[in-house]
A and B are shown apart, each in its own frame.
Chain A
Amino acid sequence: MALDQQQALLFGVAAAVRLLLFTAFPSLPSLLAGRVEVSTPVTSFKRLQEGLFLYTHNVSPYDGGVFHQAPLLLPLFSLLPNPSYHPFATNVVFTVVDLLSAYALAQVAESGQAAVTRLFTSSRKDLRWSSAAIAAGFLFNPFTVATCVARSTSALTNLCILTAMAKASQGASITFILAISFASYLALHPILLFPPLALLCYDTRTARTKHAPNPWMFAILHTLGLAVASGALLVVSAVLTGSWDFLAATYGVRLLLPDLTPNVGLWWYFFTEMFDSFREFFLGVFWLHVASYMPGLTIRLYRQPLFVATTLTGIFAIFTPYPSIADASLYLSLVPLFRHLFPVMRYTFLASSSILYTSFLGPAFYHLWIYAGSGNANFFYAITLVWSLGLSVIVGDSLYAALRDELDVDRPELRGKEVKRI
């Protein structure tokens, strides 16, 4: 029970920190909600409020062209008192969302799927952090706190993704499918996590029940389940808003990038400079680029599906059209699950210093560009490039480490030696 006490303490402190920030600095939420690093056009709480206002006044929430988030958020948030006057309930909701995410992350850590899977056991499997430490890494990550205080709806997406991971690592198929379809419903790109997580779910189910389920049946059933759950969500949304217009306003915006508000990703600058006639082509190229990692990684690292899913969240944080620090916080909180890979990673200093560097310089350069007027868009874009570089270094380095770890298991005699890929 010591662990539970420890966890309760941890969650209590995390909740207290958040509620303290909300109450001690009443202007902080709206300040953070206006920051492009935290709030993107598809996750901003201010835009959610706009959609909520239209929704409660019986106007289609997408008519204003401002709101691009999933329609099911509207009835959920319309139950809460108006956050402009009584923000406490909303603040509590977002705090609880963070705590639930941390709880799911702790479950993932406890399952031990990071280091020991059905087909693969890391040679350094004893090198791991406790689930409480990993949850603490998530809860006290400044990026997570900022996302929570800004009340960005990407916190909800993160919760769904983490729940899907937790349920997949426990082999709970139905809740896993529900969670992943909610995540895809909210943000579209998490659907790419389905194959590796389904693989993870299959692994745990096989390990638990001794006699392995038929893999084809398993794949077909789970895909069907995903289709049914997503379809049901979309139909409910259509019934709720009265039309299918929400598809163009939510997923259409994510796919076609009409809103070029700056963010920490790489797309906005590229598409402000793009020739109009090539815009559609490069939208396709960029999206395919994001998607093309999924099959390759899943095939290559099919023995470590949780690692594939983690790496994909890192790729999402870099290459999706509207990333924010919330996506980075998800990835950075998942990386500590793979503590056993850290000794093999080579560029940890470079990666962590560039992340730190951009965390401080990014807001400064944005200020120079937008408010002071002494900089230009290139200042901020350069910083987002370095930010993406830092994240890519972590992704690439951890990939290398995972491959090296597999090699160490396959060829124990090479352990500790310098290897060269040919």
Chain B
Amino acid sequence: MPPPAVAAADASPATHTDSTSTSTSTSTSTSSQSSSNALDAVNARPQPPPETKESLWLRRSVILSFWAVVVLLGLPVWWRTTAIYRADLPLQGMTDWADGKSCKPVFPLRIAVEAPLSPQEAHHLLRTTQHALDDLNEFSAHHLRLMLADPPLPANASQQVVSDGIGSTRSDEDIALSIRLIPVETGTTPRSTLQPYSPTLDVYYMPNQIPSASSTGSPLATYIAQELHKIFAEEQALLASLLFSTSGVHTAKIKSLSAETAAELKRQSTRALKYAPTYHLTFSLFTPTFAPSGWDIESALQQYLTPLLESFSAISNFTVDTQVQLYATFSPSIHQPEYDEDLRSWSLRKEDLSGFINAAEWPLSPSIGKGPTVNFVLFVPDQNQSPLLVKENGGNSWLIPQWGGVFILNPPRDSDTPRILGKEALTPAFHTFSNQLLSLLGLPQTPASLPLRLSTLKRVRAASLIFSASSTLGALARLYQALPSIPVPDTVAKSVDLTTSHLQQACDHLREGRFQGALEHARTAEAAAEKAFFERSMVGQVYFPDEHKVAVYMPLLGPVAVPLVMAALKELKSIISGLRK
């Protein structure tokens, strides 16, 4: 290869090649040049003159100016706008929570004993009962601790004062159950009754059943221990199955959980709605005709529902709305009611109950506001299709798991359907609705005392919220590690900190037996954990692998970059070759 010509004067037949090192080349077809060049033009293509200093300088500064924009402005813009901000998360702590290492939930229940005994006798009774109780207990996390009621009753207090109970029971909500020992002379002893509307167990005994200071066991102590164990059996089973299903830590310690109990618990938990701080209750009156067109719902709610909801207020809040729908027809998908001669009633088949709610036409909105909606449907059948009952068992109400309940209110025979349903007419319906609401909220079936069941529910909810928030934290930690390309804003880190601090407090409260506080902290922790996990700005780039970035950058920036890079390379080459010479 001949060296590239650098000046037109070098042009000769020997270097008659295409030279591409200079800026312009001219065609040789016309000859407006001077006559001295004409001969050359015939023989050889004249080489273009060298670039002037000025044009060289101009070209380089133009290229430099484009590069300056790219480097000085473009690169910072690229860096600023595509950097992925990832806040630091306490990953180890989050994983510890999810693995149950940070908190082993324990449920120390305090049981106050009021005994009209001398302090020594009372202490001894307590000790022996505690021994018997500990022997019975198989589930170490759930622990019943007996203590004397504070202030201890004087031994000579009259029975009247004790059974009255006002002056003696400590109004401490951390006391799970109070036992009142009541000496009696008659009847089988020892015997006990559980107060249905207060957390109190009355135990009747004969004074000679008090264990003497020397004996190590007594029938009264054993009896009390067994009663307590029975009362808290379902709660223990619930908590044990919860621990078993979520963490698996305590598996070895649960032996008492039989298959039937487990199945029953599972059935109950599938019925119940997921826990929410606020539930929305909708009461609907449906009738296929024009009557009844009204109901005395306000006072019925006031009388039957408000006390119940108030007792739940420590666990959840409720909002209530009601509606009346006339001319509401059955869903066409089910069999229409048939007349049953034997029962002298119209009957619905059991398998049609699930399709009874005419979801297409009845205005039962799935959710109003934040919380889940619980629907209660009161259906008043047509006069000529009345009474309407379930064929198989003659019942008139049923529960729809995680949705609500239905009650068929058959109008009285031999009279027209009343235009307005009074409070008395609604009574059976509201008793049923109350029971349905209790099972929908996951309230355990036993024991018979409502406050005890509520406090059980409180503990179960607190534990399940702690587990749920912990596992959300663990999932977030795994997400953080698995997807290094997602941005993590500071709000997520803040929510995580909030979650862990509230979880810790909830756990501490549990350990100290303050279950109301534990539930409140667990609720906050759960809300914060959900907020952190479902942060909207994190998910934008989840399904955006790095290869896609090529497709984003190349179509526009590629064509721009090629001439820039080529021009820069060419200039660099010519500068280097100029330096070598």
Contact = CB atoms under 8 A, between A and B. Distances in A.
Partners in one complex: yes
Given A276-B540, A277-B540, A285-B556, A296 B77 contact: no
B69 A291 contact: yes
Interface stretch (A179-187, A336-344, A411-419): A411-419
A50 interface: no
Interface stretch (B20-28, B178-186, B290-298, B471-479): B20-28
Most chain-B Cβ atoms within 10 A of its Cβ — which of A282, A299, A417, A418? A299
Nearest to B61: A299
Interface in B157-174: none
Interface in A388-413: 407, 410-411, 413
A278 B552 contact: yes
A295 B65 contact: yes
Contacts of A419: 24, 26
A230 B73 CA distance: 23
A213 B362 CA distance: 88
15 contacts: A276-B540, A277-B540, A278-B552, A280-B80, A284-B78, A291-B73, A292-B66, A299-B62, A413-B32, A414-B26, A417-B26, A421-B23, A421-B24, A422-B22, A422-B23
Contacts of A288: 69-70, 73-74, 77
B414 to A, nearest CB: 64
Nearest to A287: B77
Interface residues of A, number: 30
A417 B30 CA distance: 8
Given A417-B30, A418-B27, A281 B65 contact: no
A191 to B, nearest CB: 15
A317 to B, nearest CB: 20
A419 B59 CA distance: 18
A289 B69 CA distance: 9
B81 interface: yes
A420 interface: yes
B427 interface: no
Given A285-B557, A299-B62, A419-B26, A277 B69 contact: no
Interface of B is mostly: helix
Interface of B: 20, 22-27, 30, 32-33, 49, 52, 58-59, 61-62, 65-66, 68-70, 73-74, 77-78, 80-82, 487, 540-541, 544, 552, 556-557, 560
A346 interface: no
A413 B30 CA distance: 11
Contact of B58 (A299, A411, A418, A420): A299
Contacts of A416: 32
A280 B77 CA distance: 9
Contact of B78 (A277, A281, A414): A281
B33 A413 contact: yes
B58 A300 contact: yes
Contacts of A25: none
Nearest to A297: B62
Contact of A281 (B20, B30, B73, B77): B77
A392 to B, nearest CB: 14
A315 to B, nearest CB: 14
